[in-house]
Structure 1
Amino acid sequence: MQFGFAKTDITPRVGVDLCGFGPFINRYSVGVRDRLRARAMAVSDGETTAVLVSCDLVGVNLDTTHRVREIVAASTCVPADHVLVHCTHTHSGPATVTLNGWGRRDPPYMEILPARIADACVKAVEGLADTDVRHACVPCEGIGLNREYDRDAPALNDVLQDSWRPAKPELTDTVCHVFQFERAGKLVGFVSYFGCHPVVCCASTRWIHGDWCGVATGLIEGENGEAVGLFLQGAQGDVNSCVVHKPEAEALAALDVVAERYARAVRRGLAEGQSLDSGKVAVSRHEVVFTRTDLSRSVLTEWLTEAEAVLHASGAQDDDRQVRMSMVHTQALRGLLARIDRGESLQPVTEVHGLRFGPVTLLCAPFEIFQGIKNRVVSEASAPLPLVVGLTNDLCGYAPDWERGGGDGYAAKTVPLITGQLPFADIATELTRELLALDASLAG
């Protein structure tokens, strides 16, 4: 097989909104700790060519992905459907998705972003050449904890000890996959895969960087000449980094510690990699409508009345988090009601996207996926080496597991409203089904 690698700088100017930790906290960037990158890998078997690009961003909406595909297809032989735009989900990058109260997109940056991302893809295609591929699955511990089923935000002194482990490591990733790509014994690229929120730096921090996974990837690149490294975010929906919600000075100091832990695992993977058999390249993309709850106009109007009552109460202040959250709900509900009045569907279309090269199958979805879904898909997939990848091509919020998928929780109800959509009806079952269908379409 042939592979090609390239990267481009996608760092915004200082002052743009950073994404995450709302509502309406006016989290403007104050400086650049590390440059943000779009890192692309092209792969071809001589008949089928595809490009996967991993961006140091919180996510992208489909409009950005479509524009990237248009540029790549116009500049190369790669069909638009063969371009996958993945994001690492750093919360220390610009707001690049449409969210109510969780950061405002910057129009100049958003206008030029697709071309920056596409440039990495085009250069990766231009660099296609015969490449030897190796793979290792190595221990990777002390990075994260399951925030739904375990204690979140432990004491900093505890988690910075190298011996620290979460109470329930089985509910997190404890291994990472590392792929290395060599020509004449020289490393030209690598890919690492792991699932954990990049939230070492949170609401109190305002510096631009790729968080632990971006810092770690940069470290490994710096140790290997011109090699380009992609980080692929797995099932991070219910997994936080071990350091989270700390003051800025503590978070920035801890960032290098957590990044080095992950870098050590990647280095071990590069040292222990075993040859992968070459094989065919296959791509499959399915447009999907994931069922949203069927809420009547009267129910949405009732919710809106409740939210507006908080905003319009005597003495309401905008420094009150409840007031600002009510504004999030109000924006979302007004938007949903306006769509109903225009006769628009409240069941938006998105997509799942799969890429197979040799025995490796990447099953990609536009969600923050919970561990339980990933585990179910991996156990039932037919691919020799299936990897469930989140935050690809679009951002539709969380995909909670079966236990956390209902009710009024943050992942199940609040985040859909932040994205301006209705809650999902049964996203765990539907996403599992769609990813397994993707796996089946890539088999053979």
Structure 2
Amino acid sequence: MKTNKKAFIAHIRAREDKMIRFGFSKTDITPRVGVELSGFGPYWHRQSIAVRDRLSAKAMALTNGKRTVVLLSLDLLLISREITDKTRKLVADKYSEPCDVIIHCTHTHSGPAVYGIEGWGEIDVPYCELLPNRLAEACLEAIQNMKEATVSHAEVPCVGIGFNREYDKVEQPIETVIRDDWRPAKPELTETTCHVLKFESDGKMIGFISHFGCHPVVCCRQTRYIHGDYCGVATNILESENPGAVGLFLQGALGDVDSCFVHKPEKESLEALDVIAARYVKAVREGLKQAKPVTIDKISSAASRVNFSRKNLDVETLKKLLAEKENLFAQKGASDEDRNVRMSGVYVTNLRKLIARMEKDGFKNDTAELNALHMGPIAILTTPFEVFQAIKNDVRKQSKFKNTWVLSVTNECKGYAPDDTTAKRGGYAAEQVPMMIGEPPYADIHGELVKALIELEKKL
């Protein structure tokens, strides 16, 4: 029986088009020593003195033959809208097929400033100009590496990492938190498990993903070393244990959860970093061991831009507040060594921007990007916020998927998404941070974000 060669090739290509394939890549994004580290202020000038661990952009590409999605995980605090848009354009210029690029940050506070928060780390222009090219390179390499793979999943205990800083405010000494049996007083207000996905091809692990929610702030304003904090250090260790595999860390609802060791001197912080990273390594290592194969016969993605409602701010009231802050600089004996004076510098800069924006359009034309990615039993919902635990819990309760991951700090920065209780109480996350980035506080971010994510999920 003769085989029609053209028909056979067409048949093979048709089969390949329907096959779900995965690819991974890793690109170094470590800045030069000397750049300011981002995440603490005001005007703290945390100039880096050495590299403790390399920073990376890790990419996973997946396709169903019709559409490709690339998910990037960066060892950075935040990403700007400008860099996200530039990266997407660079990928689109070189990859002709439909492709969604999602850029996620681990939120390490020991990396360079990429998103400009006044007084919270000076942006390094050469680094930021280079970054989109490096990110696009990671995306395109992951696409090139796509192939068939088996996928396994596990959810395993992950304890001794963090505590809820809003409802369980207990910062403890290093002697206490480095004990193996340390646990927060209210573990139910934190993550107590982590999710692990393992990808294997030809009997070899090519990549893995771990998902957990906790602020990477083991090293804070008194530390000056470049690294990815507990999650970055841990992922680097896991990669070294599995040569050839690329690991992505996906940051969850970290908004109200801090690492168990925080705001301490450099020497103690670096010691605690090794301990807490080792705890996360242990959890993910067990997840890789326990992971069971899952069927992924379909992938889909969706995105939306949502205009979340803001509190009504009176321009005249803002101008009075601006005048109060400006007057601090005119007081006799005022010094930039005074934190209140430096903090006023943050406020006057952003109040001026906010007043100009309010007078222009009332801050009505502001949107936030949300993304959704579905693969097998997993739904990944991304946000540009630092999401609180209660919001994540409400999304999971309403989600139609068995395993729903809610990610923070993705594609851009839109501040915190505090839960209803914290929002009513006011304070840092609900009121101070919006003013620090020149935006009005949200009116009902808890309810509106849950609703928006569930609506987006329906498109999958």
- Taking structure 2 as the reference length, the TM-score comes to 0.94
1:410 is matched with 428
- What root-mean-square deviation, in Å, do the aligned CA atoms of Structure 1 and Structure 2 show? 1.2
How is 1:130-209 mapped onto 2 (pairs within 5 angstroms)?
Answer: 130-209=148-227
Matched, 1:312 2:333: no
Q: Pick the aligned partner of 1:38 from 57, 69, 72.
A: 57
Mean Cα displacement is larger for which, 71-80 or 229-238?
Answer: 71-80
**How far did residue 406 of structure 1 move?**
3.1
Mean Cα displacement is larger for which, 302-311 or 428-437?
Answer: 302-311
Structure 2's unaligned 5+ residue stretches are: 1-19
Rounded Cα–Cα distance in structure 2 between residues aligned with 1:152 and 1:118:
42
Rounded Cα–Cα distance in structure 2 between residues aligned with 1:194 and 1:147:
16
Does the Cα contact within 8 Å between 1:6 and 1:123 map onto a contact in 2? yes
SS in 1 for 2:422: coil
How is 1:195-234 mapped onto 2 (pairs within 5 angstroms)?
Answer: 195-234=213-252
SS in 1 for 2:267: helix
Deviations 1:95-128 (A, max 9, x none): 1112121111111111111111111111000000
Code of the aligned partner of 1:60: I
Rounded Cα–Cα distance in structure 2 between residues aligned with 1:52 and 1:102:
27
Rounded Cα–Cα distance in structure 2 between residues aligned with 1:416 and 1:348:
13
Q: Pick the aligned partner of 2:312 from 288, 294, 313.
A: 294
Q: Pick the aligned partner of 2:278 from 239, 244, 260.
A: 260
SS in 2 for 1:90: coil
Rounded Cα–Cα distance in structure 1 between residues aligned with 2:174 and 2:111:
23
Does the Cα contact within 8 Å between 1:71 and 1:118 map onto a contact in 2? yes
Q: Pick the aligned partner of 1:67 from 82, 86, 91.
A: 86
2:398 is matched with 380
**How far did residue 422 of structure 1 move?**
1.2
Runs of 4+ in 1 over 4 A off after TM superposition: 341-344
Does the Cα contact within 8 Å between 1:292 and 1:347 map onto a contact in 2? no
Q: Pick the aligned partner of 1:429 from 430, 443, 447.
A: 447
1:251 is matched with 269
1:369 is matched with 387
Does the Cα contact within 8 Å between 1:95 and 1:104 map onto a contact in 2? yes
Rounded Cα–Cα distance in structure 1 between residues aligned with 2:359 and 2:383:
30
Mean Cα displacement is larger for which, 331-340 or 130-139?
Answer: 331-340
Rounded Cα–Cα distance in structure 2 between residues aligned with 1:352 and 1:401:
18
Rounded Cα–Cα distance in structure 2 between residues aligned with 1:399 and 1:340:
22
Rounded Cα–Cα distance in structure 2 between residues aligned with 1:214 and 1:75:
29
1:110 is matched with 128
Code of the aligned partner of 2:319: T
Structure 1's unaligned 5+ residue stretches are: none
Q: Pick the aligned partner of 1:327 from 325, 345, 366.
A: 345
Does the Cα contact within 8 Å between 2:67 and 2:98 map onto a contact in 1? no
Rounded Cα–Cα distance in structure 2 between residues aligned with 1:77 and 1:3:
18
**How far did residue 346 of structure 1 move?**
5.3
Q: Pick the aligned partner of 2:408 from 390, 395, 401.
A: 390
SS in 2 for 1:60: coil
SS in 1 for 2:90: helix
Q: Identity, % of aligned pairs?
A: 50
Deviations 1:311-370 (A, max 9, x none): 221111101111111111111111112223445735522210111112211000001000
SS in 2 for 1:21: coil
Rounded Cα–Cα distance in structure 1 between residues aligned with 2:299 and 2:332:
63
Code of the aligned partner of 1:135: H
Rounded Cα–Cα distance in structure 1 between residues aligned with 2:24 and 2:277:
23
Rounded Cα–Cα distance in structure 1 between residues aligned with 2:156 and 2:361:
52
SS in 1 for 2:319: helix
Mean Cα displacement is larger for which, 398-407 or 183-192?
Answer: 398-407
SS in 1 for 2:420: coil
Code of the aligned partner of 1:250: E
2:256 is matched with 238
Does the Cα contact within 8 Å between 1:38 and 1:117 map onto a contact in 2? yes
Does the Cα contact within 8 Å between 2:315 and 2:359 map onto a contact in 1? no
Aligned residues: 441
Code of the aligned partner of 2:74: C
Rounded Cα–Cα distance in structure 1 between residues aligned with 2:98 and 2:420:
36
> Which structure has the greater CA radius of gyration?
2
**How far did residue 407 of structure 1 move?**
4.5
Rounded Cα–Cα distance in structure 1 between residues aligned with 2:286 and 2:440:
44
SS in 1 for 2:211: strand
Rounded Cα–Cα distance in structure 2 between residues aligned with 1:384 and 1:72:
32
Mean Cα displacement is larger for which, 289-298 or 157-166?
Answer: 289-298
SS in 2 for 1:424: coil
Question: Do the aligned partners of residues 354 and 206 (structure 1) sit closer, same or farther apart at CA in structure 2, a change above 3 Å counting?
Answer: same
Q: Pick the aligned partner of 1:124 from 132, 142, 147.
A: 142
Matched, 1:50 2:72: no
Code of the aligned partner of 2:263: H
